[in-house]
């Protein structure tokens, strides 16, 4: 594991179950931004997604990603992570989806109906900025 570019002062944004807004680039060059559950492993950020949606297709063409996170306790402060898609892991049982649902407070979550198409998107963290 390489040293993280994320300083300790930003860890609450990443370790609390805050929603992130993930930005990708569409094939026509326009931005697509969507709220996402995520988990930071100390080096990379992981998301649950499917291989059938536009965001997945965006990342296949252009692996650049950004994630903006505001803490629920202070919506006027944020952190932005920039990086790229470095790995796509199959998750056909939807186990990571269930893990994230628990992280975000859902009681007794079940795999989603689209679990057969589930993947884990792994984003490198190459730059961090904040207000």
Coil, helix or strand for 122? strand
**Tokens encoding 14:** 């990443």
Classified by CATH at the fold level, domain 8-123 comes out as: Pnp Oxidase; Chain A (2.30.110)
Find out whether 92 and 29 touch, Cβ atoms under 8 Å.
no
Residues 49-101: tens digit of each pLDDT: 999 999 999 999 999 999 999 998 888 999 999 999 999 999 999 999 999 99
Beta bridge partners of 47: 121
Q: What residues does each domain of the chain span?
A: 8-123
Residue 18 CB neighbour total at 10 angstroms: 19
- Strands 64-71, 74-90: parallel, antiparallel or unpaired by DSSP? antiparallel
Closest CA to 33 of 68, 73, 62, 84: 68
Residues 99-109: tens digit of each pLDDT: 999 999 999 99
């Amino acid at each position: 594991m390489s040293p993280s570019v994320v300083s300790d002062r930003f860890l609450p944004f990443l370790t609390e179950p805050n929603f992130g807004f993930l930005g990708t680039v569409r094939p026509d060059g326009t931005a697509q931004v969507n709220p996402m559950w995520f988990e930071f492993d100390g080096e990379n950020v992981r998301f649950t997604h499917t291989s059938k949606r536009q965001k997945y297709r965006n990342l296949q063409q252009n692996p650049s990603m950004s994630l903006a996170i505001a803490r629920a306790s202070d919506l006027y402060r944020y952190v932005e992570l920039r990086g790229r898609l470095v790995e796509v892991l199959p998750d056909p049982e939807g186990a990571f989806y269930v893990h994230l649902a628990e992280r975000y407070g859902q009681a007794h979550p079940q795999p989603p109906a689209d679990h057969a198409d589930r993947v884990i998107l792994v984003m490198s963290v190459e730059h961090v900025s904040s207000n």
